[in-house]
Structure 1
């Protein structure tokens, strides 16, 4: 049996194990695969029923801080009409060993099938003894939020301390500081250094952003953004980061958009990945749609997407589809 028979393909939150054949009275355990900070295994045992197990690899990390997982697990026939069996969503299940989650399937399965695990959340126990906290809800700026300089800079914006320029969004205005904007963006610095209308009028018009998104944009620039605010406005922040050449914000948006790709957002993210030249996001969206077979779950949306998407992007998608047909 080839090594690939035990390999589990993953994205940041999705794992798929493709099984070509499972003889009667057979047990098989996958190679370890990494989701979050833990290594995991899937196991399949076929006797009178088919049993599927999901569990973390035993380690000091697992013993001291076992994952608390929320996930959706399915078995998908990879041939014919792709019949799917789905287990009810598991919420906040602590997993320590290989008996903490066992799914016994009564329906007989033959031929090739895929075990598909979508991790909705992973939590760890709080070191202070409080409620468990999600490893994916940690804000990307929290590690530096205790810096006095950042806190002071944030107060300059929130309290409008000596503002000297106005940002006009589509539905409101916010006061800001030339020096802060100039040091964070070469585009802003160029505006203030040349005889542009922004220099003369002491105003910048950002008519393609709402006041809420613009506030989030400035909060990021001033080091004062909250994680929920960032998540809410990621796509608007990505556009602004690209427009005003703020590379760290663009990279933060890129990394964040990789974390929660699903059938509801994958086409929009693929379009943005192409538009803003985000290679990791494009690759992940392609893999999610093609390699993981999610293109079958959103046929109508995908057909509508093909009517308006960039021709080069459509060609890339079909190239991936053709390549996949040659494989499993």
Structure 2
């Protein structure tokens, strides 16, 4: 066995050593990547396994000389060559099991093509077991032919066919020019015109209003007194297929409430996926409340994973007191169960 290892090249020996050490896997959730390193002592270099985030596969690497150096770079591929990422991110290094303060980088924004494009020197006293976090604030595509970099968030999607574009333009005119509208929607700060057929096709709740002898059928008026005019306009834009990503991003919490109220499953799922994309320490408790209120299991699991599996509950300890006073008891019970699981001795 010893002779077989010696027969390998230095690069192969390094790869074999990393496999034996077994701590090269990087976990990801939302826009956060976390590398837990169990042992980094005499080894002077270690590279993580590739991890997927955005359009690219990434690597983290560490090496120790006078300082501990951290590198972040995309895995060589046609995508990273033709569409290299312009990344905006924060790095954080913290010891496992120690109370010392983590080492946090400033916000970096770099065009990353290879392992030499970003090297960050860290306090040399980090050793043994520690964690490296990378939180991506934005990822943009830089075309190899030049031109303006374009963010991959939140506007990913497929190009519409010409036929679909024509249909959407027609439907858009029906809404915005109020062509043959037959129902009025009243909100807390204004009114909107729409079509019963479009509303009925989008929601069984709306359909029931117009099929049965309810006041909405008789008056051709729907009172939506828990939405603003602007949020309700965004809801109609979704129903008519004319919503742009920026409006969806701006009104997604209001749209989530409406989707739950009017049984619009696709919209509810879209809101949940969107809210999963940008969980951070500033919004995770609010997202957890929304997940509990609207029974969003994926979002709830994502928030709990972020807090406990990734250890981010320590970053929001100042906000927990108010949260514990207002949160549902069943939710708090589930959180404490997660705490017991996360802190259970290995």
TM range (shorter): over 0.9
Quick one: structure 1 residues 157 and 128, their matched pair in 2 at CA, closer, same or farther if it must change by over 3 Å? farther
Q: Give the Å deviation of 1:223.
A: 0.7
Q: Give the Å deviation of 1:20.
A: 2.2
1:1-328 alignment runs, 5 A limit? 4-91=22-109, 93-126=110-143, 129-138=146-155, 143=160, 147-326=165-344
Q: What root-mean-square deviation, in Å, do the aligned CA atoms of Structure 1 and Structure 2 show?
A: 1.9
Quick one: structure 1 residues 140 and 186, their matched pair in 2 at CA, closer, same or farther if it must change by over 3 Å? farther
Quick one: structure 1 residues 156 and 129, their matched pair in 2 at CA, closer, same or farther if it must change by over 3 Å? farther
Matches of 2:161 and 2:283 in 1, distance apart? 30
Quick one: structure 1 residues 42 and 127, their matched pair in 2 at CA, closer, same or farther if it must change by over 3 Å? closer
TM-score, normalization by structure 1: 0.94
- Which one is further off, 208-217 or 297-306? 297-306
Matches of 1:224 and 1:102 in 2, distance apart? 44
Q: Give the Å deviation of 1:87.
A: 1.4
Q: Give the Å deviation of 1:264.
A: 1.3
5+ unaligned residues in a row in structure 2: which ranges? 1-18
Quick one: structure 1 residues 205 and 82, their matched pair in 2 at CA, closer, same or farther if it must change by over 3 Å? farther
Quick one: structure 1 residues 327 and 53, their matched pair in 2 at CA, closer, same or farther if it must change by over 3 Å? farther
Contact 2:73 / 2:115 at 8 angstroms: preserved in 1?
yes
Matches of 2:118 and 2:144 in 1, distance apart? 25
Matches of 1:170 and 1:119 in 2, distance apart? 38
Matches of 1:62 and 1:299 in 2, distance apart? 39
Aligned residues: 327
Q: Give the Å deviation of 1:71.
A: 0.5
Contact 1:122 / 1:136 at 8 angstroms: preserved in 2?
yes
Matches of 2:318 and 2:64 in 1, distance apart? 36
Contact 1:139 / 1:227 at 8 angstroms: preserved in 2?
no
Contact 2:83 / 2:143 at 8 angstroms: preserved in 1?
no
Contact 1:50 / 1:105 at 8 angstroms: preserved in 2?
yes
TM-score, normalization by structure 2: 0.90
Contact 2:81 / 2:144 at 8 angstroms: preserved in 1?
no
Q: Deviations over 1:59-79 (max 9, x none)?
A: 121122211111011112232
- Which one is further off, 255-264 or 59-68? 59-68
Q: Deviations over 1:252-279 (max 9, x none)?
A: 1111111111111111111111121211
Quick one: structure 1 residues 126 and 137, their matched pair in 2 at CA, closer, same or farther if it must change by over 3 Å? farther
Bigger CA radius of gyration: 2
Q: Deviations over 1:45-101 (max 9, x none)?
A: 11221111111111121122211111011112232325111111112x111111111
Quick one: structure 1 residues 141 and 275, their matched pair in 2 at CA, closer, same or farther if it must change by over 3 Å? farther
Q: Give the Å deviation of 1:193.
A: 0.3
Contact 1:163 / 1:176 at 8 angstroms: preserved in 2?
yes
Matches of 2:181 and 2:344 in 1, distance apart? 61
3-state DSSP class of the match of 1:17? strand
Q: Give the Å deviation of 1:175.
A: 0.7
Matches of 1:205 and 1:298 in 2, distance apart? 39
- Which one is further off, 102-111 or 26-35? 102-111
Quick one: structure 1 residues 217 and 157, their matched pair in 2 at CA, closer, same or farther if it must change by over 3 Å? same
Q: Give the Å deviation of 1:144.
A: 6.4
Matches of 2:219 and 2:143 in 1, distance apart? 51
Contact 1:27 / 1:44 at 8 angstroms: preserved in 2?
yes
Contact 1:22 / 1:46 at 8 angstroms: preserved in 2?
no
5+ unaligned residues in a row in structure 1: which ranges? none
